[in-house]
RNA sequence: GGGAGCAUAGCUCAGUUGGUUCAGAGCAUCUGCCUUACAAGCAGAGGGUCCGCGGUUCGAGCCCGUGUGCUCCCACCA
């Protein structure tokens, strides 16, 4: 088979991904094996792949593929989230482009367009995951608005209502003026924002005096229904019980007192606008204040504002400031920075608004979910997120779940003309309940359904079991087998949105945790540490990157840069490292393939099977496998990948292959060749979860495979014990080679020039085993053993052994002498500190015996080395 | 305002119960090499007061206190 110059990732990716699918390697059905289940955090159906997905899904794929190779029945469930706000926004925009206003069409018409849009553009992201090589079971693809799923969400709503865990209430909520819907607290992002603090004066009724208040929102003064001061504030004592006039509109409002006011802030006087501020609302309730709502749902001023009607709130602010100034009400303006809430989805400044919404009484449902995390039934990696979780759970607030949108699960509440309501899954059920509850049928025997739909998270919290129809078809074979799932891989940003609520739903509806482990990935940032985002434009197009570097290289690039439990600073060059690694692997393959037709069978007597090279790599491989196992247990995937990278590049390519490489056009021992192919195979197995395409490609290129013999499903053998002595000898061998190569470089001995090497050592036996390797790696034409220094040579001391290099070139001993003196100085200092320690009675008494023994050995070793160097120096 | 985390080589990070063969790795840098798998490479090398200060200990990168600087989360000072 002719190999291409470089690995051709595009052809390989297409070929293998479709092959794996044809073979149904990613499809799972319950059987006797232990399951390993991951449910994908469903991306928005509107979404496109970004670097965060790349990280998150690469990690999941690594875990799933490895589990599959370890004899488990691996099942990774794909799917998408209907993403109520995001999708509705897209559809509204699409309609606008067609010249259609949402308000001008019916709900059903709108939903028709929405489904059409979803079928056409939705779920692109799932196709993109295939490009990344994700081994998802596509036959299990789920969507949060699939018919059964939809019914389950509705049914859960009804059930929670019947249990008294849900209620409808008029409260201050976070209003998104752009999406025109309520938001939950979690959907509000607080950002430090530069603002102005305006000092405004209000005329006091009956006195020739003014009171000055400070506000950042002068456009809301028309909603003021009081001024509040601290009862103990001496400055305002004479105004208690008096009234003031709101500037521009002259509404007469009371001056009230409350200890809530901070005397030191601003002027110590606060305007109270109950309709447009959470705190003011509470103050208003306490003091029975009137509530004047001056905003429309889109954030423009309404008629109750009396002035600036129809203006957008921030435009109104600009205009009213000018007017206030003109009329002498603006006393001063100062710069002020404070936190302002923005909508997570639309980035609009959130408007506090009083409205009637549906709520989940979280205290009633959250209890078991706290315990299972605190006692590690659900284990968090990294564990530091347990604190965060506990804090949120212990201070949990009710969850606003109604959204003024059409795209989503429609709230199953049914109202009569007077606003009396019942909660039921269908109109029929609702009518029946109505009869029971109110003792009569509603007018015309019809009830109208709530216009609103549910928060997307109210459906995605059922994800880990409903993808197996664990709610719609309780106790079915799938949910019994796959649930609880094993590992959830997600970003810490959605710990409250999603993780916590899934645990609650799992405990409530399956009486069991939804997953055993949660692995929180870091956030992908750019080189300057900024979070990657569309608006900043610093998020690269992943598909372009895959096209340019290959999927394997991208997977490598993101994982190698990803420290466990921390954010990662990503830059394109880490993909280059991945691509270079591909290239390295490909070249190693080419080398091995060159040997294929040139093997020679030496027979069992002189077979290379027992050579040091083979024995060493076998042991090194086992040692590394054990390390990798351990790293996986701790979710240290980045380090596991680094270990494999170094095992392949350094140990296999730089050392092993060089050691077994035959001379130019020389044959290779058949047994060594076969072992080399085996090693290569095993390395590809270790690499496969991280870089699936090239590993499968190489696995098949190495030799002819029977049908179905594919690395994707080939089982990993477990690590056997590594022989420490062999490993130690190899370390020594490498050290000798490196040191003597250094001498070659420093003495400018040309690579092609052969040297004669003499070794003075008391472990000749060991050196004989590695003699041929030494000769090859150092270009030594002869190796001999001596018991005294050899005149006219370059000498070096490595460990306790002395080496003499004879060369045709003139020898300059000054640099080696310098090096030896430097070593000597260090060793003497080192020896001194060891002796000092051993001479310290308290050390000898207090330290553990084995520690003392180590120190004694250090002393002996140092002395031996010093002796060897001194002898060498003397002979120079 | 409350809480959490971080600070080790130019950059990104390892360093697991304290033991100077423990100051490491990968990138990057420098010096040789187009050597018959690989210049997307090979062979070598240099580089750090482990943030400052104090303490515990025979011994501290690691434990304790404190200061400084960054990051994140939560919270209703307009």
* Cβ-contact A302, A296 below 8 angstroms: yes
The least confident of A193-202, A240-249, A551-560, A828-837 is A828-837
Per-residue pLDDT band for A529 (boundaries 50, 70, 90) equals confident
Using the CB atom, is residue A548 less than 7 Å from strand B?
A: no
Q: Which of A444-453, A786-795, A843-852 has the highest average model confidence (pLDDT)?
A: A444-453
Residues 793-832 of A with CB under 7 A from strand B: 830
Phi, psi dihedral angles at A764 (to 5 degrees): -55, -40
Rounded to whole angstroms, how far apart are CA atoms A717 and A726?
Answer: 21
Report the protein residue whose CA lies nearest the C1' of nucleotide B16: A634
Strand stretches in A526-587, DSSP E: 568-569
Q: What is the mean pLDDT of residues A753-774?
A: 89
**A562 vs A351, which has greater pLDDT?**
A351
A544 CA vs B38 C1’ separation (Å): 26
Q: Which residues pair with A34 in a beta bridge?
A: none
Query: Comparing A407-416, A521-530, A631-640, which segment has the lowest mean pLDDT?
Result: A521-530
Q: SS3 for A377?
A: coil
Distance A9 CA to B72 C1' (A): 39
**Which pLDDT score is estimated for A812?**
67
**Helix ranges (DSSP H) in A70-146:** 84-97, 107-121, 124-132
Lowest mean pLDDT among A530-534, A636-640, A850-854: A530-534
Q: pLDDT grade, residue A535 (50/70/90)?
A: low
* Phi/psi at A357 (5° precision): -140, 170
Poorest-confidence range of A252-266, A343-357, A787-801? A787-801
ipTM, 2 dp: 0.94
Residues 622-681 of A with CB within 7 A of strand B: 639, 642, 646, 649-650, 653-654, 657-658, 661, 663-664
- Is A14:A453 a contact under the CB 8 Å cutoff? no
> Which residues are CB-contacts of A489 (< 8 A; sequence separation ≥ 6)?
A38, A41, A56, A59, A60, A63, A518, A519, A521
Chain B: nucleotides below 7 Å from protein CB are 3-5, 11-14, 19-21, 25-27, 31-33, 35-38, 40-45, 57-59, 71, 73-78
Closest by CA position to A248, among listed A221, A284, A285: A221
From the centroid of its chain, how far is CA A350? 28
Statement: residue A538 has pLDDT above 80? no
Nucleotide with smallest C1' distance to residue A581 CA: B40
Q: In the structure, how far is the CA atom of residue A859 from the C1' atom of nucleotide B66, in angstroms?
A: 39
Which position has the higher pLDDT, A822 or A395?
Answer: A395
Residue A692 · residue A65 · CB < 8 Å:
yes
According to the model, what pLDDT value does residue A42 have?
96
pLDDT at A875 over 80: no
Which residue has the least CA–C1' distance to nucleotide B58?
Answer: A843
Pick out residues 174-203 of chain A having their CB under 7 A from any atom of nucleic acid strand B: 185-186, 190
In the prediction, which pLDDT does A589 show? Answer: 96
Contact A436, A403 (CB under 8 A): no
Residue with tokens 């639309």: A346
Please report the pLDDT score of residue A444 as a whole number. Answer: 92
pLDDT in tens, A272-295: 999 999 889 989 989 999 999 999
Q: How far is CA A574 from the centre of its chain?
A: 17
Contact A26, A137 (CB under 8 A): yes
pLDDT digits (tens, 9 = 90+) for A219-272: 999 999 999 999 999 999 999 999 999 999 999 999 999 988 888 888 989 999
Given pLDDT bands bounded at 50, 70 and 90, which one contains residue A1? low
Of chain A residues 228-287, which have a beta carbon within 7 Å of strand B? 260-271, 277-279
Give CA–CA dist A269/A266, Å, rounded. 7
* Residue A575 tokens, joined: 């993909």
Distance CA A128, CA A124 (A): 6
Q: pLDDT band at A604, cuts 50/70/90? A: low
* C-beta within 7 A of nucleic chain B, residues 283-342 of A: 338-339
Cα Rg for chain A, rounded, in angstroms? 37
Paired residues of A852 in beta bridges: none
pLDDT of residue A607 exceeding 70: no
Neighbouring CB atoms inside 10 A of A866's CB total: 17
Question: Is 80 exceeded by the pLDDT of residue A609?
Answer: no
CA neighbor of A85 nearest in space, from A7, A17, A9, A186: A186
Residue numbers in A 113-172, CB below 7 Å of strand B: none
Q: Is nucleic acid strand B under 7 Å from A100's C-beta?
A: no
Q: Nearest residue to B21 (CA, C1')?
A: A858
**H or E stretch at A652:** none
Range with the largest mean pLDDT of A371-375, A573-577, A588-592: A588-592
Region A811-820: what's the mean pLDDT? 72
Res. A606 pLDDT band, cuts 50 70 90: low
Give the CA-to-C1' distance from A751 to B34 in angstroms: 14
Confirm if A215 and A197 have CB atoms less than 8 A apart.
yes
Q: Which of A490, A404, A54, A143 is nearest to A501 (CA)?
A: A490
What pLDDT is attached to residue A272? Answer: 95
Query: Quick one: pLDDT at residue A298?
Result: 92
Interval A446-455 mean pLDDT: 96
Q: What is the average pLDDT across A308-334? A: 94
d(CA A663, CA A668): 9
User: What is the C-alpha separation between A246 and A228, in angstroms, rounded?
Assistant: 13
Q: What pLDDT, on the 0 to 100 scale, is given for residue A634?
A: 87
What whole-number percentage of chain A has pLDDT above 70? Answer: 98
Q: What does the pLDDT average to over A556-576?
A: 84
Look at residue A848 and tell me whether its pLDDT is greater than 80. no
Task: Quickly give A853 CA vs B58 C1' distance in Å.
Answer: 16
Task: Give the least confident one: A28-42, A204-218, A244-258, A605-619.
Answer: A605-619
Distance (Å, whole) CA A485 – CA A686? 24
How far is the first Cα of chain A from the last one, in angstroms, to the nearest whole number? Answer: 56
A550, closest nucleotide (Cα–C1'): B40
**Both structure tokens of A561:** 């840069």
CA–C1' A338–B4 (A): 22
Q: What is the pLDDT of residue A135?
A: 98
- Computed over every residue of chain A, the mean pLDDT equals 91
Mean pLDDT for A51-58 is: 92
CA distances from A362 to A136, A355, A612, A827 (A): 34, 19, 66, 67
CB A588 within 8 A of CB A701: no
Q: Residue A465 pLDDT > 80, yes or no?
A: yes
Which nucleotide's C1' is closest to A746 (Cα)? B44
**Mean pLDDT in residue range A414-420:** 95
CA angle A524, A525, A529 (to 5 degrees): 150
Selection from A47-51, A687-691, A724-728, A766-770 with the highest mean pLDDT: A687-691
Residues 450-489 of A with CB under 7 A from strand B: none
Whole-number pLDDT of residue A759? 92
With the C-alpha atoms ordered A305, A310, A314, A316, is the resulting torsion angle positive or negative?
A: negative
Q: Shortest CA–C1' contact from A827: which nucleotide?
A: B21
Is the pLDDT score of A528 beyond 80? no
Amino acid A556 CA to nucleotide B11 C1' distance, rounded Å: 19
């Amino acid at each position: 088979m002719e190999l291409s110059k470089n690995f051709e990732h595009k052809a390989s990716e297409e070929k293998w991904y479709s092959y794996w699918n044809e073979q149904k390697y990613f499809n799972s059905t319950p059987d006797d094996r232990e399951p390993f289940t991951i449910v994908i955090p469903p991306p928005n159906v509107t979404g496109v792949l970004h670097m965060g997905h790349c990280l998150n899904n690469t990690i999941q794929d690594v875990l799933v593929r490895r589990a599959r190779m370890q004899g488990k029945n691996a099942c990774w469930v794909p799917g998408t989230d209907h993403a109520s706000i995001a999708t509705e926004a897209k559809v509204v925009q699409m309609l606008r482009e067609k010249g259609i206003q949402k308000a001008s069409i019916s709900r059903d018409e709108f939903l028709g367009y929405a489904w059409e849009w979803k079928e056409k553009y939705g779920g692109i992201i799932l196709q993109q995951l295939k490009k990344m090589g994700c081994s998802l079971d596509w036959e299990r693809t789920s969507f949060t608005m699939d018919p059964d799923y939809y019914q389950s969400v509705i049914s859960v709503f009804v059930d929670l209502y019947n249990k008294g865990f849900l209620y409808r209430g008029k409260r201050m909520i976070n209003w998104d003026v752009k999406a025109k819907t309520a938001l939950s607290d979690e959907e509000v992002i607080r950002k430090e924002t530069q603002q102005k603090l305006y000092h405004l004066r209000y005329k006091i009724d009956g006195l020739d005096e003014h009171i000055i208040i400070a506000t950042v929102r002068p456009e809301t003064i028309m909603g003021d229904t009081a001024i509040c001061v601290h009862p103990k504030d001496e400055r305002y004592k004479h105004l208690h019980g008096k009234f003031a006039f709101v500037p521009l509109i002259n509404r007469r409002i009371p001056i009230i007192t409350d200890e809530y006011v901070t005397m030191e802030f601003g002027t110590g006087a606060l305007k109270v606008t109950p309709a447009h501020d959470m705190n003011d609302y509470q103050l208003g309730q306490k003091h029975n204040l009137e509530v004047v709502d001056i905003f429309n749902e889109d954030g423009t001023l309404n008629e109750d504002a009396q002035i600036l009607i129809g203006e957008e709130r921030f435009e109104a602010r600009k205009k009213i400031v000018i007017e206030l100034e003109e009329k002498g009400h603006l006393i001063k303006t100062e710069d002020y920075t404070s936190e302002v809430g923005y909508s997570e989805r639309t980035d609009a400044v959130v408007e506090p608004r009083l409205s009637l919404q549906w709520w989940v009484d979280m205290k009633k449902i959250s209890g078991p979910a706290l315990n299972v995390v605190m006692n590690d039934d659900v284990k968090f990696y990294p564990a530091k997120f347990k604190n965060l979780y506990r804090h949120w759970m212990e201070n949990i607030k009710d969850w606003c779940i109604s959204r003024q949108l059409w795209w989503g699960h429609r709230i199953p509440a049914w109202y009569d003309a007077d606003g009396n309501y019942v909660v039921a899954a269908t109109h029929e059920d609702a009518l029946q309940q109505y009869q029971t509850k109110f003792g009569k049928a509603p007018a015309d025997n019809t009830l109208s359904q709530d216009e609103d739909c549910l928060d997307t998270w109210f459906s995605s919290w059922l994800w880990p079991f409903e993808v197996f129809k664990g709610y719609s078809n309780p106790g079915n074979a799938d949910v019994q087998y796959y649930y609880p799932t094993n590992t959830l891989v997600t970003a810490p940003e959605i710990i409250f949105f999603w993780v916590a609520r899934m645990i609650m739903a799992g405990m409530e509806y399956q009486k069991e945790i939804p997953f055993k482990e949660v692995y929180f990935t870091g956030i992908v940032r750019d080189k300057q540490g900024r979070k990657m985002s569309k608006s900043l434009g610093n998020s690269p197009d992943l598909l372009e990157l895959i096209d340019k570097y290959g999927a394997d290289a991208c997977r490598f690039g993101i994982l190698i840069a990803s420290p466990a439990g921390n954010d990662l600073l990503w830059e394109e060059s880490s993909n280059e490292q991945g691509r270079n690694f591909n290239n390295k692997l490909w070249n190693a393959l080419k080398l091995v393939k060159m040997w294929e037709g040139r093997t020679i069978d030496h027979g069992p007597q002189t077979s290379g099977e027992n050579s040091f090279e083979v024995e060493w790599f076998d042991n090194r491989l086992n040692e590394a496998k054990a390390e990798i196992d351990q790293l996986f247990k701790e979710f240290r995937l980045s380090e596991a990948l680094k270990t494999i990278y170094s095992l392949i590049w350094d140990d296999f390519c730089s050392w092993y292959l060089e050691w077994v490489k035959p001379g130019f056009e020389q044959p290779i021992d058949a047994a060594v060749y076969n072992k080399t192919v085996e090693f290569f195979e095993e390395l590809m197995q270790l690499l496969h979860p991280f870089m699936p395409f090239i590993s499968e490609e190489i696995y098949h290129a190495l030799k002819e495979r029977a049908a179905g013999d594919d690395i994707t499903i080939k089982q990993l053998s477990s690590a056997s014990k590594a022989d420490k002595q062999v490993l130690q000898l190899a370390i020594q061998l490498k050290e000798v080679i490196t040191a003597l190569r250094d001498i070659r470089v420093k003495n400018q001995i040309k690579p092609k020039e052969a040297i004669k090497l003499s070794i003075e050592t008391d472990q000749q036996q060991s050196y004989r085993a590695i003699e041929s390797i030494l000769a090859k790696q150092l270009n030594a034409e002869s190796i001999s053993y001596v018991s005294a220094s050899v005149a006219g040579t370059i000498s070096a001391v490595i460990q306790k052994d002395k080496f003499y290099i004879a060369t045709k070139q003139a020898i300059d001993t000054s640099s080696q002498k310098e090096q030896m003196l430097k070593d000597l100085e260090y060793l003497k200092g080192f020896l001194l500190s060891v002796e000092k320690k051993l001479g310290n009675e308290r050390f000898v008494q207090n330290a553990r015996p084995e520690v003392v023994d180590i120190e004694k050995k250090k002393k002996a070793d140092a002395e031996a080395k010093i002796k060897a160097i001194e002898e060498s120096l003397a002979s120079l």
